[in-house]
Chain A
Amino acid sequence: MRNPLSKTVIEIQPSGIRKFFDIVSEMKDAISLGVGEPDFVTPWHIREEGIYSMEKRRTIYTSNAGLKELKIEICNYLKRKYDLEYHYDRETIVTVGGSEAIDLALRAMLEPGDEVLIPQPCYVSYHPCTILAGGTPVVIELKGDNEFKLTKEQLLSSITDKTKILILAFPNNPTGAIMDYDDLKEIAEVIIEKDIFVISDEIYSELTYGRQHVSIASFPGLRERTVVINGFSKSYAMTGWRLGYAVGPSEIIEQMIKIHQFAIMCAPSISQYAGVEALKNGDSDVEMMRDAYDKRRRYVVHAFRNMGLECFEPYGAFYVFPCIKSMGMTSEDFATKLLKEEKLAVVPGTAFGDCGEGYLRISYAYSIENLKIALERIDKFVARHKID
């Protein structure tokens, strides 16, 4: 029999997180700070709208690019929050989560051999999706000393004649880093000068603390070369609804809609109706959740610093990224031992790229009570293994 599989697919490595997940799932009574989704449940008025839409028999396809009403609300929202102006009909697509939008954008834009710059540590899908779309991933290793921001110098030294796309993902999973106006301004200049495009994954845009999120697309000359990706998962605690979107120049969005139309058809209609409610009446929910995350964020950073572990202050998402280099263990060793000895699961930084070595991703999407218990366990562990 012939080999039924694609060589490209076989060569893609399963994510490091998957490997760790398998170890964790064998530990029955482990607790965790390893979750990448909110602990909040979707606000009731949004869930109720989902139920209502089923009662109203809205159980049918919507148009490929998404419900008109939702696209209009998305554009209103982006204008209101980030001063981004897009046309709901030509420049907007509703997708099955932000993940689909990442895949679509890469597939719509890449030619074989095109290079995609991927600053790591980062979310796990950019690298494999680039390969699946025929592109060549080029990793930029972000530095802890620089709070995991992308600098102009790093960007310039990674650009070649083949570079086509830069992926920007701030606020960042796993580091919690953000890029503010001045950080982005430098990057924006290089992007224009070198004539490259940007896929900006802004899924955590609502979760910044004490600083306003800035979108790269809001800089002059960048709107034409940026696909902005966002969604409902993190901001409205709607991970299971699988609802995201992308906005960008119409020539790119049109091609993304074409792929989406053949591969997916449309995002779930029930989720789309719930999404309209979220954007119309969900501002106060977002604020409540952001406020709760902020308290936990301070609590967790403080705890790590008290343990004597270096931990830069993250201003976004719901992760802290403490450095464990002083412990004389690799990230994976630390995480594995912590799990065995204290029955606590955290994700080694290396699951998000090699340059995550020496770090852990700690999620604070947990109640204060749970965080307290978990942090006490890490504290005990660190005290026991500390090198004097």
Chain B
Amino acid sequence: MREKILTAIDNNSKLAAADLAVMLGTTEEVITSTIKQMEEEAIICGYPTLINWDKVQCERVTALIEVKVTPQRGLGFDKIAERIYQFSEVQSVYLMSGGFDLTVIIEGKTMREVATFVSEKLAPMDAVLSTATHFVLKKYKEHGLPLVQAQKDERMLITP
């Protein structure tokens, strides 16, 4: 049931528990309690809204930063990742395989704000060896959803 619920709400967290129950062939209570459990276990960690900020008159800059770090004895990468993700500017942090260690995604109001964060907060950390900052020019798709208007249903109204 957990997996069924998660798949159903993965791309639409607005589905009401009553509707979900009907769609998955169970009761509203089962849905509500399973979701609550998964929230408590941090399987469901939040319900953010997918916004295309480019369409709003509101300046936003996103940057992807490749970070090389020195892992700490006994703590590996977790400690340094935690030091980084505590900053509110940081949207995502991933541990990577390959040429660098952490991918850090930053969102700021201006390019200067992002640059300041990198040069004053991120780069000076003891464990950080190097950073490479890539600014995002345009977002096309996020969380499995293209950031475009839904296309009109062009099917004929009635077909056999």
The reply on A284 being an interface residue by CB < 8 A is no
Task: Say whether, besides A295-B8, A368-B15, A34 and B157 are in contact (CB < 8 Å).
Answer: yes
Residues in B with CB closer than 8 Å to A30 are 157
Which residue on B lies nearest to A41, using beta carbons?
B151
Binary per-residue interface labels of chain B (16-40) against chain A in the complex, 1 for a CB within 8 Å, 0 otherwise? 0001001111000000000000000
In the bound complex, how far is the Cα of B51 from the Cα of A305, in angstroms? 37
Task: Say whether, besides A295-B8, A368-B15, A21 and B22 are in contact (CB < 8 Å).
Answer: no
The reply on A47 being an interface residue by CB < 8 A is no
Chain B interface, DSSP helix/strand/loop, else mixed: loop
Q: Would you call A299 and B156 a contact (CB within 8 A)?
A: no
Which residue on A lies nearest to B8, using beta carbons?
A295
Q: Would you call B19 and A35 a contact (CB within 8 A)?
A: no
Binary per-residue interface labels of chain A (9-20) against chain B in the complex, 1 for a CB within 8 Å, 0 otherwise? 000000101001
Task: Say whether, besides A298-B25, A368-B19, A24 and B160 are in contact (CB < 8 Å).
Answer: no
Question: Least Cβ distance of B140 to chain A in Å?
Answer: 14
The reply on A25 being an interface residue by CB < 8 A is yes
The reply on B155 being an interface residue by CB < 8 A is yes
In the bound complex, how far is the Cα of B158 from the Cα of A351, in angstroms? 11
Interface size on A, residues (CB 8 A): 28
Binary per-residue interface labels of chain A (364-381) against chain B in the complex, 1 for a CB within 8 Å, 0 otherwise? 000010001000000000
Which residues 115-157 of A sit at the B interface, judged by CB distance below 8 A? 123-125
Across the interface, A295 reaches (CB within 8 A) one of B24, B157, B159, namely B24
> Which of B12, B23, B25 has the largest number of chain A CB atoms within 10 A?
B23
The reply on A191 being an interface residue by CB < 8 A is no
In the bound complex, how far is the Cα of B157 from the Cα of A243, in angstroms? 22
Across the interface, A345 reaches (CB within 8 A) one of B19, B24, B158, namely B158
Across the interface, A37 reaches (CB within 8 A) one of B12, B22, B25, B159, namely B159
Across the interface, A347 reaches (CB within 8 A) one of B8, B19, B158, namely B158
Binary per-residue interface labels of chain A (33-58) against chain B in the complex, 1 for a CB within 8 Å, 0 otherwise? 01111010000000000000000000
Task: Say whether, besides A295-B8, A295-B24, A298-B23, A124 and B157 are in contact (CB < 8 Å).
Answer: no
Across the interface, A39 reaches (CB within 8 A) one of B23, B153, B159, namely B153
In the bound complex, how far is the Cα of B25 from the Cα of A17, in angstroms? 33
In the bound complex, how far is the Cα of B9 from the Cα of A150, in angstroms? 39
Q: 3 shortest A-B CB distances, which residue pairs?
A: A295-B23, A34-B158, A32-B157
Known pairs A17-B158, A299-B23. 4 more at Cβ < 8 A? A32-B157, A36-B159, A296-B23, A298-B25
